[in-house]
Structure 1
């Protein structure tokens, strides 16, 4: 099974290093020296990691055979893909690989069906479940513990406790202006 573990960013310096946007919770395992990664587009790889380091909060990688800025810049926006055993599980108990979450049924605590996870979007601040509803519309559900309260892989479901307005139009709207109007008693 294949797992996207990073996206190559811009070149760093003149000796072939690149910045990478990490897309795995286990970069030390997936992006260490000697790792051989497939690429998307496939024509860019496979790439073997020669070395890596953290600089100013960003991971920098150097690949075998990539020796200058031009070669590094040519790799920009390439996805790095690791081949993993489908039975392998993340080290932490509350972590999941994307393939484990795809196609899970999304339900409320009372069992009300919301939809099915069709995609997982990895954003800098948080991950989002893209959920297809039975009527064909899509919802975006933040994958945070306060909203996604349970992942049950045996039952193939994700239980959510959404705030008002996330899955329906019944949002509770409150503003300071409404509070001022109520306090003043003016009907004008």
Structure 2
């Protein structure tokens, strides 16, 4: 299984550098020189990209890949999702830290065991992480904080929710 670690936002400069929106808590490790990433282009094709260099710039990471030498080539990568294999991820030592792929697909239930949906994805926003729940009535966004999601039971295949009144109400 692959995990998204970034998305190419745009080309930067004339030498093939790319501005990348980071989607990993370990950018120094994921985008270290010599790291191989899989890029899924907008047309669905995949290609391996090897990091030549990376640096922070204006809230984004600027990345040079060995395979991208010009701005013209860099422009073709706009919107490309960058992946690593879950096999390459180190285990987390913190019991309250999870990789997104570990949460996706978990059953979401209330404290009393009532099933309210399934975790579709984890959205990383400026104010924190949100769980996107797939529900019969559509999708719901749940802040991924201890007060609302007190239990994450990956081996048991579930997250337990204690939502404030109205959070899961259908419009």
- After superposition, the Cα gap between the structure-2 partners of 1:49 and 1:137, relative to the gap in structure 1 and judged at 3 Å, is same
Question: What's the Cα RMSD here?
Answer: 2.4
Q: Per residue, is there more strand in 1 or in 2?
A: 2
Q: Confirm or deny: 8 A CA contact 1:119 1:131 kept in the other structure.
A: yes
Counterparts of 1:82-97 in structure 2, within 5 Å, are 82-85=84-87, 88-97=90-99
Cα distance change of structure 1 residues 31 and 90 upon mapping to structure 2, 3 Å threshold: farther
Mapped partners of 2:108, 2:169: distance in 1: 15
Residues 120-131 of structure 1 mapped to structure 2, 5 A cutoff: 120-131=122-133
Partners of 1:84 and 1:155 lie apart in 2 by: 20
5+ long unaligned stretches in structure 2:
none
- Given the two structures, how large is their TM-score scaled by the length of structure 2? 0.85
Q: What's 1:79 paired with?
A: 81
* Long gaps (5+) in structure 1: 171-188
Tell me by how many angstroms 1:91 deviates. 4.8
Q: Which has the larger radius of gyration?
A: 1
Alpha-carbon distance in 2 for matches of 1:141, 1:8: 27
User: RCO (CA 8 Å, sep 6+): is it higher in 1 or 2?
Assistant: 2
Q: How does 1:18-33 map to 2 (within 5 A)?
A: 18-33=18-33
CA offset at residue 88 of structure 1? Answer: 4.5
How far apart, in 2, do the equivalents of 1:119 and 1:145 lie?
18
Length, aligned pairs only: 169
